[in-house]
Amino acid sequence: MITVVECRGIGERVPSPMLSNVTRLLDPARFRVVGVPWLASYGPVPLPLGPSFDESLRHGRPLVIDAIRRDPNPVILLGYSGGAGLAGDVAAEIARGEHPDLDVRGVGLISDPCAPWYGSSGEIGSHGITGPRPILRAFPRWWISDPADVICCCPGDSPLRTIADQTASMSLANLIGWGADLTRRLLVKEWQDVAIDWRNRDAVRALYTQARHDAEGYLSRGDHTSYATRLYPGSTRTYCEWLADRINEIRE
């Protein structure tokens, strides 16, 4: 038996509607699914006074590690959106050897906001909107990324990256903490490097036109939420079906 430890996306209920499109296709005789009760909040989403994304990640990290450690079975980590950020962060720690007692056999990340360029499926130079986080080859890693999805396939010079940096600690319930984080980032220069040549009006116009298109894809075209319906490139399977096939291939 293998346990799938899943981390739902921002604002999703438990179990994750998106990840259910993967887990329902797994062999029930070989896999069981456990959800991590992390906060899954990005400031005012889903609740107006919710905690920030950074706080949610800090809260979720020990929950994921404890879920793996307490489980008697080998584990596959699975995450979507913000939950992919959480699952991927823990997977990266394990792959670096920081938790040698944890038995992880693979990690599947749908729309990882920290996807490296080789996991983003977008143009060379694109990667997750919060900046790339590599995961060493200690076990299979599956990044499921629609090239149209700006969360995981954001152009390297997109001004949307600055918005992601500015809002990581955003919480209407903790405005002082948010302000302190912005001040800290300014002091230590913890910002993604977005180079804009303001003297080149055509280039600036093209840059912001692309950013607007990418934002509209996230907000209205469903580029971030269509992994259960859009086909994996070069396949007749949807993104979620393709990931389920890969997990079903894992043996104990």
- Establish if 108 belongs to a structural domain: yes
> Stretch 208-224: mean pLDDT, rounded?
91
Determine the pLDDT at residue 123. 62
Angle, alpha carbons 251-116-9 (nearest 5°): 70
Give percent above pLDDT 70 in the chain.
98
In the predicted structure, residue 190 carries a pLDDT above the cut 80: no
- Establish if 223 belongs to a structural domain: yes
Determine the pLDDT at residue 204. 83
Determine the pLDDT at residue 122. 61
Full-model pTM: 0.93
Query: What domain range is 108 assigned to?
Result: 2-155+218-248
Q: What stretches of 78-233 show up as alpha helix (H) in DSSP?
A: 82-95, 160-167, 175-188, 201-216
Residue linked to tokens 């797994």: 26
- Establish if 181 belongs to a structural domain: no
CATH classification of the domain holding 238 = 3.40.50.1820
- Residue 74 to residues 2, 31, 192, Cα–Cα distance (Å): 5, 10, 36
Q: How many domains does the chain have?
A: 1
Cα 205 to chain centroid distance, Å, stands at 29
In the predicted structure, residue 250 carries a pLDDT above the cut 90: yes
Radius of gyration of the chain (CA): 18
Determine the pLDDT at residue 124. 65
Query: What distance in Å separates the CA atoms of residue 239 and residue 117, rounded to the nearest whole number?
Result: 18
- Establish if 77 belongs to a structural domain: yes
Query: What distance in Å separates the CA atoms of residue 165 and residue 186, rounded to the nearest whole number?
Result: 11
**Lowest model confidence (mean pLDDT) among 67-76, 101-110, 191-200:** 191-200
What integer best gives the mean pLDDT of the chain? Answer: 92
Determine the pLDDT at residue 207. 80
- Residue 109 to residues 52, 187, 212, 223, Cα–Cα distance (Å): 21, 32, 25, 16
Give percent above pLDDT 90 in the chain.
71
At 76, which helix (H) or strand (E)?
Answer: strand 75-80
- Establish if 160 belongs to a structural domain: no
- Establish if 169 belongs to a structural domain: no
